[in-house]
Chain A
């Protein structure tokens, strides 16, 4: 019985950790220079 309880707790803790890892996003610094410029004029002739 004790072993079963330990297994359930281990699975629950593992699930929480997996969930946190899965939900974790990415933090990153945006490009510090430059930007998007539409193709127009000479780009399209």
Chain B
């Protein structure tokens, strides 16, 4: 499972919007112009999807069709799990037991909790499993950590997201808004109904102001363990008045092939030199592009440096190189400066 770079090939399991884009990101060179990996293996259940993508990637990518657990080549060192909600755990568990690093792009809270429960198996295998590598959770965790490095202590983290990546992500967004949300408040998880707690959040332009609501999101499960002592963690999704009015009704139209532009806002409050300080970071981009760029960078540059076990991206201690590499790939983070 070793290579000249010591990392082997990267397998991407799932060929949806995020999986296919992750492969494209993996094929690009690193900041030094050299390849970031020893090759890519793309796994999908769909023969037609592989036939569609194989000519695009050429000989740089090996394709494997597999319905269940894929039989991966021995030289695969990192597995990016990009399958839909509910299909992540089995692939991740098999990869961990085979001694491979795992990067999961799923954002479903039950999936994330299940993946975090593999921490013991990952430690035993001496590998790292990174759960929730998407826009939120994912980049939200990186931005929370980045803000925390500029504070003496952190007591509140508030995440808001607008937009979806692909059809599976759109379905997951609807489930999240209809489901029960979880806030972290004063040392305990508090259950709240979805579509409650409306708050007007200001995202980077051109998204601007959007009404955001509580939803069943995974961010608290990843942020709370990474910030001991934090008193409040919340996560919200942007939704329109039409979304809110039609939420109880069945959806008759299929989701679009790819979601439009989205945005992320992460507000971190804490103390700095004895005074209260609030740091707000944001991103404007397509969630699919953010998730795939982040998954590729984590798979090639980050996961090998993490301690064995399971965690989210708030476990990354040095966020600057990760944000710099994302910026080089076109995912640019902004900070809000000035008044309220």
A39 touches B332 (CB 8 A): yes
B191: CB under 8 A from chain A? Answer: no
Task: List the B side residues contacting A33 at CB < 8 Å.
Answer: 338-340
Docked complex Cα distance between A37 and B234 (Å): 24
A25: CB under 8 A from chain B? Answer: yes
Number of interface residues of B (CB under 8 A): 26
Task: List the A side residues contacting B340 at CB < 8 Å.
Answer: 31, 33
A23 touches B211 (CB 8 A): no
Q: With A25-B211, A28-B209, A31-B202 known to touch, is A37 a contact of B337 (CB < 8 Å)?
A: yes
What 3 pairs between A and B have smallest CB-CB spacing? A34-B338, A33-B339, A44-B324
Docked complex Cα distance between A44 and B31 (Å): 14
Docked complex Cα distance between A28 and B211 (Å): 10
A38 touches B334 (CB 8 A): yes
- What residues of chain B have their CB less than 8 Å away from a CB belonging to chain A? 198, 200, 202, 204-205, 208-209, 211, 241, 244-245, 281-282, 320, 323-324, 327, 332-340
Give which listed residue, A26, A35, A40, A45, contacts B211 with CB less than 8 A.
A26
**How far does the Cβ of A44 sit from chain B's closest Cβ, in whole Å?**
4
Complex A-B: 15 CB contacts under 8 Å: A19-B245, A23-B244, A24-B241, A31-B202, A31-B339, A33-B338, A33-B339, A33-B340, A36-B336, A36-B337, A37-B335, A37-B336, A38-B332, A38-B334, A45-B320
A36 touches B241 (CB 8 A): no
**How far does the Cβ of B65 sit from chain A's closest Cβ, in whole Å?**
40
Task: List the B side residues contacting A44 at CB < 8 Å.
Answer: 320, 323-324, 327
Give which listed residue, A25, A30, A45, contacts B324 with CB less than 8 A.
A45
Minimum CB distance partner of A26 in chain B: B200
Task: List the A side residues contacting B245 at CB < 8 Å.
Answer: 19, 22-23
Q: With A25-B241, A30-B202, A44-B327 known to touch, is A35 a contact of B337 (CB < 8 Å)?
A: yes
Q: With A25-B211, A26-B198, A28-B209 known to touch, is A34 a contact of B244 (CB < 8 Å)?
A: no
Task: List the A side residues contacting B334 at CB < 8 Å.
Answer: 36-39
Task: List the B side residues contacting A37 at CB < 8 Å.
Answer: 334-337
Q: With A22-B244, A44-B327 known to touch, is A34 a contact of B335 (CB < 8 Å)?
A: no
Docked complex Cα distance between A26 and B201 (Å): 10
**How far does the Cβ of A10 sit from chain B's closest Cβ, in whole Å?**
20
**How far does the Cβ of B110 sit from chain A's closest Cβ, in whole Å?**
28
